[in-house]
Every structure is written in structure tokens, then in C-alpha cells.
Amino acid sequence: MRDRLFITTMLLPSMVLLVLFYGYPIFDNLRISFTDLSLLGMKKGGNWVGLANYRELFHSGEFNHILFNTFIWLTATSVVLRLLFGLGIALLLNTRAMRVLRLAAVSRFALLIPWATPPIVAVVIWRFLLERNGFVNDALIGLGLISQPIAFLADIRTVWPSIVLIMLWNTVPLIALSLLSSLQTVPEEYYEAAELDGATSWQTFRFVTLPFLMPAILVLGLMSVFWSFNNFVYVWLATGAGPGTFTNVLATEVYLKAFVDFRLGYSSAIGMVMAVVMGAFGILYLRLVAQRQLEETL
């Protein structure tokens, strides 16, 4: 009890600062979401409308489409592909051939380039590459894969794969390097024992490598969900939520309602829905990751 009291006393100032820094904006945003506050009438404040903003949001014809874009394209698709490509690159960099050819260090340095590129710069670069007269179209036409240029960021058939491609280029290196670090902690004796037992490459990966990687994969997966779900930069800079509103997601909808339609109350309601979803992911993170770390510590 004395140790717990001491720890609580030491952590209390930091906890108070965190509550003030995060708690006040959250509760103020919640209050605004129950009003019809407009960006043009902030001085006089908004009128209390109760749950009207939430009812309008959930009954909106666009809401299901926005949720689909946010959960399936922006989050699920990008996170799954990010982990798969990151794992594949990490396994490739950890092979004996890469070490023999002394390409591991060069490959890691090459991976740092897209990861160190700011998302804004990455989107601008890829917008030039994906233009109708850009490098990607020229390369595909030169290879005979297409006969005429494609407007990748304006065609509804290619716009979401293009956005996901930009996200992967910018974020996969971090996943790959993190998983590579975990791979290098696997004791070599485990691989030797598996080889003596006659295990195939797939069996070695499944029963030796993967169990060691699962904690890192779990953490990286959950963190990628946080980074992707709330992301505004990739969609807005790549397409402006277009063509039309085809790529509109929750983050861009918050911006559009607040600073284009001037409906701060409605925009706050969308923000609170996003906060609830992220809160659910946060609870999942604590249960699956923090609890396991606590058990290992004890």
C-alpha cells in the first residue's frame, strides 16, 4: 500500500496535466456537438439542439458510404496490406542471401527514404507520378499493359487503390524495420532445432518465427489502425475527398462540415463518433497489449 501510494503521488501531477490537456477539449467538443454552433456565429454561441446532429448524421444517406470508406479502404485494407508487405520485406532482409551479398545495410537505408519523407511531400510526389502524362502511365503504356493514360486519382475504379498505394509507400518501411528488429531477436538455436527435426520452411516460420513476431505484429497493427482511421492528409491532399465525394472519410467530413459548410456543431458530432471508435480501439489495445506486458513484468 505504501508503494502504491508513493507511485500514485508521483504520477498525480502528470495525470492532472493529461486530464486538463485532453479532457477539457473532449468535453467542450461534446458540448458543442449538442448545439447548432456555426463558424460564422461563434461569438454569440450556438443554440441547444440535443441529439439533432447525431440523428441527422446517422440518418444521412452519405454516412454509410463514409463509414465504408473509413473502415474498409482507409483502415482495414491499408493496415492489412501494410503488415503483409512489411512482414515480407522484413523476412527478405533477414535472409542469409542478403547477409552474404552484403545488401542488408543498403536495403535498410533505402527503406528509410520513403519513411523519412513527410506525408505531404509523399502525396505531392505521387500526384505527379500518377497524372495522365506522369511516369506511371508512361511506364504502363511502354510495357504494353494499357493502351491509353488513366486518371488514377480521378477514376472511381483506381482512386482508392492509388490512395492506398501512397499510404503503403510512406508507411510500410516503418513496419518492415520494426519487424526486422524483432526477427533478429529470435534465438538461432530454435532454427537449428527445427532443422534437425526436419521442419519445412513453412513449419519453421509458423511455429518458430511467427510466435516471436506476434507481439510486435499486434502492437504495430493496433497502432496502424490509430494512424489510419484518423488520417486526413492522404485522402485530402490526393483527391480532396473526390471525385465528388467518392473518397470522403470521417476525417475529411469533419473538415468539410466545419470549414466549408460552417457547421461546427455537426462537425463536432462527427468528431465524437470518431472518438468513441478510437476509444474502443484503445480499450482493445490495453487488453491485448498492456495487460500482456504487465503479466510478463510480474
Per-residue pLDDT reduced to its tens digit, 67-85: 999 999 999 999 999 999 9
Q: What is the pLDDT of residue 233?
A: 94
Q: Are 93 and 180 in contact (CB under 8 A)?
A: yes
Tens digit of pLDDT for each residue in 125-153? Answer: 999 999 999 999 999 999 999 899 999 99
Global pTM reads 0.89
Query: What was the pLDDT predicted at 185?
Result: 87
Whole-number pLDDT of residue 8 = 87
Instruction: List Cα–Cα distances, 40 to 31, 32, 48, in angstroms.
Output: 18, 14, 17
All three cell numbers of 27, joined, read: 468535453
What mean pLDDT value characterizes the chain? 90
Top-tier CATH class for 46-297: mainly alpha
pLDDT for position 241: 94
pLDDT at 50 (0 to 100): 92
C-alpha cell at 23: 479532457
What pLDDT does 45 receive? 80
Backbone angles phi, psi at 192, to 5 degrees: -65, -40
pLDDT of residue 89: 92
CA distance 129 to 84: 24
pLDDT of residue 291: 66
pLDDT value for 294 = 59
Residue 290's pLDDT is: 64
Tracing cell 533478429 back to the chain, one arrives at: 184
For the chain, list residues with pLDDT below 70. Answer: 289-298
What are the beta bridge partners of residue 35?
48
**Cβ atoms of residues 152 and 159 within 8 Å:** yes
Domain ranges of the chain: 46-297
Grid cell listed for 116: 523519412
pLDDT at 49: 94
Q: Are 57 and 270 in contact (CB under 8 A)?
A: yes
Helix crossing, 78-93 with 210-229: angle to 10°? 140
